[in-house]
């Protein structure tokens, strides 16, 4: 098992917001709140139809943004990771949070998932306050963290079943839901093999199944395709999009792959040094930079990577490495022993 694997731990500590229910900071023991609003939740990961989020939820917050951050700030000691973040993710969209290493993306996401507290500012998920209504927020989320969240010593099915238990999927429904989540990511045939025999792309799809088993209204993916080959990357996105088409879930994703952001995100925010520096559709951002540079009228639109470099400036090269460095630093395949 590699150093990044988390074999033997409760899945609650391996990327499940629900499992870290009572912890307000990293490292606290998981404890699952099975409070009164712990209803069965959305029925199946792939349930089609406009009411996929459940009629109760749909009625309660129709028209509400999936995520709202206002003045969100978070510091690790002297290091300011998030510095007054303003962000709105609309219900149903695929929203890309981009930015160089250390921009604060993961920290912001961990505040949104309630894995970190919100020391300053406000975070809401479908109208629920991340500080005061933590469990309500967690029940709406599926989260694929940047670090490995699958246990190499368990089979794919066992991994997903653990998450189903943590997310309060009822015992009666559990086997069916686990099967559906595995099928949604095309892992039915490999479901009973140990995860350590999976390729990097399969591991990432397994983690996707873990996050989907609770039929989340908001799926949060922190670098879901890092280190994967182009075919595996496409496959991960195809599975995300298929589930999204079937359920209408919102997707908040971070990625260092500008081509993916361009292709799959409805809107993107470029984050740098803890704040959003640019926001729009990929087209809007490219056109905006083209106009500023005066190249748009020649039909030479900049790429999203040009936009990124324009905003992140020299700090990108000095402090963070470039995209190819990032791509080569972590290999999902090697993270499973």
Ligand X SMILES: Nc1ncnc2c1ncn2[C@@H]1O[C@H](COP(=O)(O)OP(=O)(O)OP(=O)(O)O)[C@@H](O)[C@H]1O
Interface residues toward Mg ion, by CB under 5 A: 105-106, 146
Residue 81's binding partner out of Mg ion, ligand X, none, with CB under 5 to 8 Å set by partner kind? ligand X
**Shortest spacing between CB 296 and ligand X, in angstroms:** 29
Residue 164 or 228: which CB sits closer to ligand X? 228
**Shortest spacing between CB 28 and ligand X, in angstroms:** 14
Would you state the structure tokens that stand for residue 135, as one six-digit string? Answer: 């469990």
Residue 21 or 326: which CB sits closer to ligand X? 326
Residues 81-100 that bind ligand X (CB under 6 A): 81, 99
Residue 81 or 112: which CB sits closer to ligand X? 81
Binding residue (CB under 6 A) for ligand X from 7, 71, 84, 102 = 102
Check: CB of residue 209 under 8 Å from CB of residue 181.
yes
Check: CB of residue 240 under 8 Å from CB of residue 184.
no
The DSSP annotation for 264-287 comes to H-SEEEEEETTEEEEEE-HHHHHH
294 CB-contact burial (10 Å; exposed 0-12 / middle 13-18 / buried 19+): exposed
Separation of alpha carbons 323 and 317, rounded Å: 10
Q: How many helices (H) and strands (E) does the chain have?
A: 12, 10
**Shortest spacing between CB 174 and ligand X, in angstroms:** 33
Angle between helices 200-212 and 171-184 (to 10 degrees): 140
Q: Does 104 bind ligand X (CB under 6 A)?
A: yes
Query: ∠ at Cα 52 (51, 54), nearest 5°?
Result: 70
> Which residue, among 274, 267, 264, has the nearest Cα to 312 in the 3D structure?
274
Q: Does 107 bind ligand X (CB under 6 A)?
A: yes
Residue 302's binding partner out of ligand X, Mg ion, none, with CB under 5 to 8 Å set by partner kind? none
Binding residue (CB under 6 A) for ligand X from 103, 160, 162, 304 = 103
Q: Does 268 bind ligand X (CB under 6 A)?
A: no
Residue 170's binding partner out of Mg ion, ligand X, none, with CB under 5 to 8 Å set by partner kind? none
**Shortest spacing between CB 81 and ligand X, in angstroms:** 3
Residue 79's binding partner out of ligand X, Mg ion, none, with CB under 5 to 8 Å set by partner kind? ligand X
**Shortest spacing between CB 103 and ligand X, in angstroms:** 4
* 214 contacts: CB under 8 Å, gap ≥ 6: 18, 41, 42, 45, 139, 142, 163, 164, 167, 168, 169
Q: How many CB atoms lie within 10 A of CB 162?
A: 22
Q: Does 113 bind ligand X (CB under 6 A)?
A: no
Binding residue (CB under 6 A) for ligand X from 8, 49, 63, 76 = 76
**Shortest spacing between CB 110 and ligand X, in angstroms:** 8
Query: ∠ at Cα 249 (36, 181), nearest 5°?
Result: 80
Q: Which residues bind ligand X (CB under 6 A)?
A: 76, 79, 81, 99, 101-107, 146
């Amino acid at each position: 098992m590699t150093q990044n694997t988390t074999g033997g731990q409760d899945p609650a500590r391996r990327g499940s917001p629900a499992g870290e229910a009572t912890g307000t900071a990293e490292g606290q023991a998981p404890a699952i709140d099975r409070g009164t609003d712990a209803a069965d939740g959305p029925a199946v990961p792939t349930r089609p139809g406009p009411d996929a989020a459940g009629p109760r939820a749909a009625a309660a917050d129709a028209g509400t943004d999936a995520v709202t951050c206002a003045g969100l700030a978070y510091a690790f000691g002297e290091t300011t990771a998030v510095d007054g973040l303003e962000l709105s993710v609309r219900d149903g969209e695929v929203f890309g949070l981009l930015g160089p290493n250390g921009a604060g993306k993961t920290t912001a996401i961990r505040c949104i998932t309630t894995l970190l507290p919100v020391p300053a500012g406000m975070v809401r998920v479908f109208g629920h306050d991340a500080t005061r209504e933590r469990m309500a927020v967690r029940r709406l989320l599926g989260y694929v963290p940047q670090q490995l969240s699958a246990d190499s010593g368990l089979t794919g099915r066992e991994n997903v079943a653990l998450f189903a238990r943590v997310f309060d999927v009822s015992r009666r429904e559990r086997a069916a839901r686990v099967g559906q989540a595995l099928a949604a990511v095309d892992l039915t045939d490999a479901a009973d093999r140990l995860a350590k025999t999976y390729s990097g792309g399969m591991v990432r799809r397994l983690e996707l199944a873990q996050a989907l088993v609770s039929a989340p209204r908001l799926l949060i993916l922190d670098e879901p395709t890092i280190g994967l080959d182009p075919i595996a990357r496409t496959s991960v996105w195809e599975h995300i999009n298929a589930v999204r088409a079937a359920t209408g879930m919102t997707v908040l994703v971070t990625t260092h792959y500008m081509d993916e952001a361009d292709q799959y995100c409805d809107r993107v925010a470029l984050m740098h040094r803890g704040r959003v520096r640019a926001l729009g559709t990929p087209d809007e951002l490219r056109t905006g930079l083209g106009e500023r540079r005066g190249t748009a009228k020649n039909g030479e639109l900049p790429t999203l990577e040009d936009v990124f470099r324009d905003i992140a400036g020299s700090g990108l090269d000095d402090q963070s490495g470039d995209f190819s460095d990032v791509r080569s630093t972590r290999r999902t395949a090697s993270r499973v022993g």
